[in-house]
């Protein structure tokens, strides 16, 4: 099958949607499909053969912040040319409601179109204000995918459509085996965190508060924090005598990420909510970490109601500390959780997820006829 993927956001800037599109492309190619990805690109860096640049994206204020988007007629022409040259069996646009390449692709293309919605935003003013226009463009979409129940709800509420649920994938084999960082987890035990340290919704503050209690009771227990943010600010939340037991790595590479998960006895995801899908959680599960996560619906679902990882009351440092202490004292339970996590995460392995996406493609292709995606100029 020839598949055309459209990513609305600048390829050279890291982001969840870009990562998803790149991984999906790789997984589809592994399954034997031909894939071309169209995305805005800022720099002239060498791109892999299957990534096609749609030119520079322009920073514009949108939906309360400045987003880098490609939206003009020149971008529309590039989309049109890419569609004509690609001769795709199916066009798969991501985040179709973003006023960028994906929306333009819906506008110019004719033929089988699939859309994936990533956003979960209960009150998107931008989407509400332009719902009429979006509906017209999205009328051409034959089938929609939502990466989480929250994303699906957003779609239903704002645009009145419906979507099938296909979760975000994770490359299980890239996380399954990794060398722990030197000296970790250490004899006193270690708890890990990965995510933006300065983003309150990631809940690092809850973990640090719990550590003030845990660290006193357990001499030798250490905390390993990875992710962008101010290290001193994070340390300042911990009692002065415990600060040297908090190691802050800052932003880590993909390879080091896997090592972080393997370096701790308990991996903690203290998110306060608003997380449409816990990528970090599936990565930790693929690494076989014993996971301790806050009891938000998305995490509860991924952790199979607590069978593949412990859950604690959201934003409750006391609950976190109690559960963490119990886990640190019980290596057998950690082993059990690790095994259950490795098993549960196979549902999120990219090859399995991509196979489900292919089922969606098969559903929108007119039976029997190889319907090519066209880009007429009449509309």
Partner 1 sequence: MTEVLAVVCTLLVVLAVSFYLSWRASRLDRLHTRLETAQAALDAALARRGAVVGELAASGVLGPAAGVLLSDAAARARRAEDRAEREVAESNLSRVLRAVLAEAGDLAADGDLLAEVHAAARHVHIARRFYNDTVTAVHTARSSRLVGVLHLAGHARLPAYFEMDDEPPGLPDPHWPDPEGGNDR
Contacting residue, 136, 201, 241, 250, with partner 1 by CB under 8 A: 136
94 vs 342, beta carbon nearer partner 1: 342
Residue 334 CB, nearest approach to partner 1 (Å): 15
Of the pair 169, 215, the CB lying nearest partner 1 is at 169
Q: Does residue number 331 form part of the binding site for partner 1 (CB under 8 A)?
A: no
* Out of 15, 161, 186, 306, the residue judged to bind partner 1 by CB under 8 A: 161
Using CB under 8 A as the binding rule, whether residue 160 contacts partner 1 is answered as yes
Residue among 46 and 139 whose Cβ is closer to partner 1: 139
Which one, 41 or 166, has the nearer CB to partner 1? 166
Of 78, 80, 118, 140, which one interacts with partner 1 (CB under 8 A)? 140
Q: Does 362 bind partner 1 (CB under 8 A)?
A: yes
Residue selected from 18, 119, 121, 144 as contacting partner 1 according to rule CB under 8 A: 144
Judge whether 93 and 102 are in contact, CB under 8 Å: yes
Nearer to partner 1, 162 or 233 (CB): 162
Pairing mode, strands 310-312 and 190-194? unpaired
Output the smallest distance, CB 173 to partner 1, in A: 10
Q: Is 139 in the site for partner 1 (CB under 8 A)?
A: yes
Is residue 342 involved in binding partner 1 (CB under 8 A)? Answer: yes
**Exactly one of 26, 149, 316, 356 binds partner 1 (CB under 8 A); which one?**
356
Residue 164, interface with partner 1 (CB under 8 A)? yes
Q: What is the 3-state secondary structure (H, E, C) of the chain?
A: CEEEEECCCCCCCCCHHHHHHHHHHHHHHHCCCEEEEEECCCCCCCCCCCEEECCCCEEEEECCEEEEECCCHHHHHHHHHHHHHHCCCEEEEECCCCCCHHHHHHHHCECCEEEEECCCCCCCHHHHHCHHHHHHHHCCCCEEEECCHHHHHHHHHHHCCCCEECCCCECHHHHHCCCCCCCCCCCCCEEEEECCCCCHHHCHHHHHHHHHHHHHHCCCCEEEEECCCCHHHHHHCCCHHHHHHEEEEECCCHHHHHHHHHCCCEEEECCCCCCCCCHHHHHHHHCCCEEEEECCHHHHHHCHHHCCCEEECCCCHHHHHHHHHHHHCCHHHHHHHHHHHHHHHHHHEHHHHHHHHHHHHHHHCCCCCCCCCECCCCC
CA distance 254 to 279: 13
Q: Least distance (Å) from partner 1 to the CB of residue 40?
A: 28
User: Least CB distance from residue 258 to partner 1, whole Å?
Assistant: 16
**CB of residue 15 to partner 1, shortest distance in Å:** 27
Smaller CB separation from partner 1, 113 or 225: 113
Q: Binding to partner 1 by residue 332, rule CB under 8 A? A: no
CB of 111 to partner 1, least distance (A): 10
Residues that bind partner 1 (CB under 8 A): 135-136, 139-140, 142-144, 160-164, 176, 339, 342-343, 346-347, 352, 356, 359-360, 362-364, 366-367
């Amino acid at each position: 099958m020839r598949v055309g993927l459209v990513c609305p956001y600048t390829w050279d800037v890291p982001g969840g949607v870009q990562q998803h599109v790149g991984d999906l492309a790789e997984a589809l190619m592994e399954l034997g499909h031909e894939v071309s990805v169209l995305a805005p690109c800022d720099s002239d860096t060498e791109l892999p053969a299957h990534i096609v640049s749609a030119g520079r994206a322009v920073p514009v204020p949108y939906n309360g912040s400045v987003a880098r988007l490609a939206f003009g007629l020149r971008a529309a022409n590039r989309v049109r040319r890419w569609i004509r040259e690609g001769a795709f069996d199916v066009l798969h646009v991501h985040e179709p409601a973003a006023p960028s390449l994906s929306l333009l692709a819906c506008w110019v293309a004719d033929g089988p179109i699939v859309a994936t919605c990533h956003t979960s935003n209960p009150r998107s003013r931008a989407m509400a204000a332009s719902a009429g226009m979006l509906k017209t463009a999205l009328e051409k979409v034959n089938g929609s995918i939502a990466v989480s129940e929250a994303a699906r709800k957003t779609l239903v509420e704002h645009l009145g459509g419906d979507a099938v649920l296909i979760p975000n994938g994770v490359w299980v084999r890239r996380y399954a085996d990794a060398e722990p960082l030197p000296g970790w987890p250490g004899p006193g035990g270690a708890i890990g965190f990965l995510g933006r340290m300065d983003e309150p919704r990631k809940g690092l503050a809850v973990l640090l508060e719990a550590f003030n209690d845990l660290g006193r009771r357990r001499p030798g227990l250490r905390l390993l924090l990875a992710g962008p943010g101010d290290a001193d600010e994070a340390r300042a939340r911990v009692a002065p005598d415990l600060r040297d037991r908090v190691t802050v790595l800052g932003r880590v590479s993909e390879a080091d990420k896997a090592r972080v998960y393997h370096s701790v006895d308990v991996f903690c995801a203290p998110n306060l909510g608003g997380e449409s899908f816990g990528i970090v959680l599936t990565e930790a599960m693929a690494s076989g970490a014993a996971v301790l996560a806050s009891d938000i619906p998305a995490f509860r679902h991924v952790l199979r109601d607590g069978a593949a990882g412990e859950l604690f009351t959201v934003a409750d440092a006391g609950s976190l500390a109690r559960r963490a202490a119990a886990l640190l004292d019980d290596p057998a339970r950690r082993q059990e959780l690790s095994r259950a996590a490795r098993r549960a995460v196979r549902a999120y392995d990219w090859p399995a997820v991509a196979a489900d996406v292919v089922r969606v493609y098969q559903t929108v292709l007119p039976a029997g006829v190889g319907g090519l995606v066209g880009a007429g100029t009449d509309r």
